[in-house]
Amino acid sequence: MSRPVIETTPAPAATRVLTYAEALNEALREEMRRDPRVFVMGEDVAVWGGGGVFGVTRGLVEEFGPQRVRDTPISEEAIAALAVGAAVAGARPVAEFMYADFMGLAMEPIVNQAAKIRYMFGGKASVPVVFRAQEGAGRGNAAQHSQSLEAWFCHIPGLKVAVPSTPADAKGLLVSAIRDENPVVFLEHKILYNTKGPVPAGDVAIPMGVADCKRAGRDATFVGVHTMVHKALAAAEILAAEGIDLEVIDPRTLVPFDLDTIVASVRKTGRLVVGHEAYERCGIGAEIIAQVITAAFDALDAPPVRVCGENVPIPYNARLEAAALPQVEDIVAAVHQVVA
């Protein structure tokens, strides 16, 4: 590993429009240039069409070579476990799982090793690994390729969990995740890869644990992740036409979680709608509600409402799939319910 560490001077905040996938790619590239310990591994991340089935690792093998951009066999448990071992031994792996659903194969090293090593070892090790994967439905990939499993990881102390919804957040959070001394489960969303947005050039880490208000509003607070942020923004337009002003907050990371921003919003609006594509039962929506209830029960003028994935495996058929997922009109209806 003879590449020099390239010192990056924070670039002038030139902003370009990039896709979510391009923004992630830029984060990986810049971090790999900055720190020779960073490397990428996963299935089809190097050779396949020039970098990953969604293009996130495009061009990396050309720039950094096959040692640092490693195609792996189909061995999800080992991908995770090797990444953990390499991290403990001083490398900074970014391990990719092609679909979050496949992380069922890798829960042991993520949960019993990565998450616990620092604590179990009395604070004398760190595990700077990023587990990247994409979640979400909407493309007819059916039950084994469409799940959103963030709640599993949020449940486990020792892991951090990021869920960017925009290209700028994707880049800024991935930079932070790679620099973090802790294991980060970095969950992208397949539907978002081709969405575009402004992304500042250069060194633009977004700290973990800082929510982003994507739309200010007075009448109700929506908290949601990934596609639900965009659906909520669409719902807000519909609601605005009716004179209802929806505030849309994207926590961006679920662990750590910026409860303060959300509580402040709820204290302002008195109403809360929470949304995610993941199965409703034991999803993060319940946790967000439980935390807000504890912190601001008095401020709530109506019971919070969840707009979540149905408790059903994701079906293939388009109509059924749409019915299984929370939609813009479900958000509108939920907001109607809380402001009623």
Partner 1 sequence: MARKLAVALSPDQLQSMLRTMHMIRQFDLRALDLYREGAMRGSTHPYIGMEAVAVGACAALRPADRITSTHRGHGHCLAKGGDPRLMMAELLGKATGYCKGKGGSMHIADVEAGILGANGIVGGGIGLATGAALAAQLAGRDDVTLCFFGDGALNQGILHESANLAAIWKLPVVYICENNQYAMSARADKFTSVPDPEVRAKAYGFPGVSCDGMDVMAVYRTVADAVARARAGEGPSLVVCVTYRYFGHHVGDPLNYRDKAEVDAWKTKDPIDRFQADRLAAAVTQEIDAAVAFAKASPEPEVEALMEDVYA
Q: Is 183 in the site for its own copies (CB under 8 A)?
A: no
**Active site annotation includes 155:** no
Number of residues that bind its own copies (CB under 8 A): 51
How far apart CA 224 and CA 163 sit, in angstroms, is: 10
Q: Residue numbers of the site for ligand TPP (CB under 6 A)?
A: 43, 74, 76, 98, 102, 105
Choosing from 5, 6, 47, 120, the residue that interacts with its own copies (CB under 8 A) is 120
Active-site choice (30, 76, 96, 247): 76
Summarize the chain as % helix, strand, coil (round to 5): 40, 20, 40
208/50 Cα distance (integer angstroms): 30
Contact residues for 211 (Cβ-Cβ < 8 A; gap 6+): 249, 250, 251, 252, 258, 261, 262
Which of partner 1, its own copies, ligand TPP, none is residue 216 near (CB under 5 to 8 Å by kind)?
none
φ, ψ of residue 97 in degrees (nearest 5): -110, 130
Q: Which 59-118 residues touch partner 1, going by CB under 8 A? A: 67-68, 70-78, 80-91, 93, 101-102, 105, 108-109, 112-113, 117
81 vs 284 by CB, closer to partner 1: 81
Query: Is 189 annotated in the active site?
Result: no
AA letter at 293: I
Nearer to ligand TPP, 315 or 326 (CB): 315
Q: Which of 305, 325, 328, 332 binds its own copies (CB under 8 A)?
A: 305
Closer Cβ to partner 1, 82 or 151, answer by number = 82
Distance CA 224, CA 303 (A): 17
Q: For its own copies, give the closer residue by CB, 224 or 285.
A: 285
Residue 153 CB, shortest distance to partner 1, in Å, is 18
Distance, CA of 211 to CA of 231 (rounded, Å): 17
Could you give the CA distance from residue 182 to residue 47 in angstroms, rounded to a whole number?
A: 29
Task: Annotate 3-61 with three-state secondary structure.
Answer: CCCCCCCCCCCCEEEEEHHHHHHHHHHHHHHHCCCEEEEECCCCCHHHCCCCCCCCCHH
164 binding partner (options partner 1, its own copies, ligand TPP, none; Cβ < 5 to 8 Å by kind):
none
Q: Does 245 bind partner 1 (CB under 8 A)?
A: no
Contact by Cβ (8 Å): 214, 40: no
> Which entry of 30, 43, 145, 321 is annotated as an active-site residue?
145
> Cis link prior to 256 (omega < 30° from 0)?
yes
Size, binding site for partner 1 by CB under 8 A? 63
Contacts of 219 (CB under 8 A, 6+ apart): 239, 244, 245, 246, 247, 269, 271, 335, 339
Tell me which residues are annotated as active site.
76, 145
Please report, as ranges, the residues that interact with partner 1 according to CB under 8 A: 1-2, 37, 39, 43-44, 47-50, 53, 67-68, 70-78, 80-91, 93, 101-102, 105, 108-109, 112-113, 117, 119-125, 139-145, 313, 315-318, 320
Please report, as ranges, the residues that interact with its own copies according to CB under 8 A: 77, 101-102, 104-105, 107-108, 110-112, 115-116, 119-120, 142-144, 149, 151-152, 154-158, 255, 278-279, 281-287, 289-291, 293-294, 297, 302-306, 310-313, 315
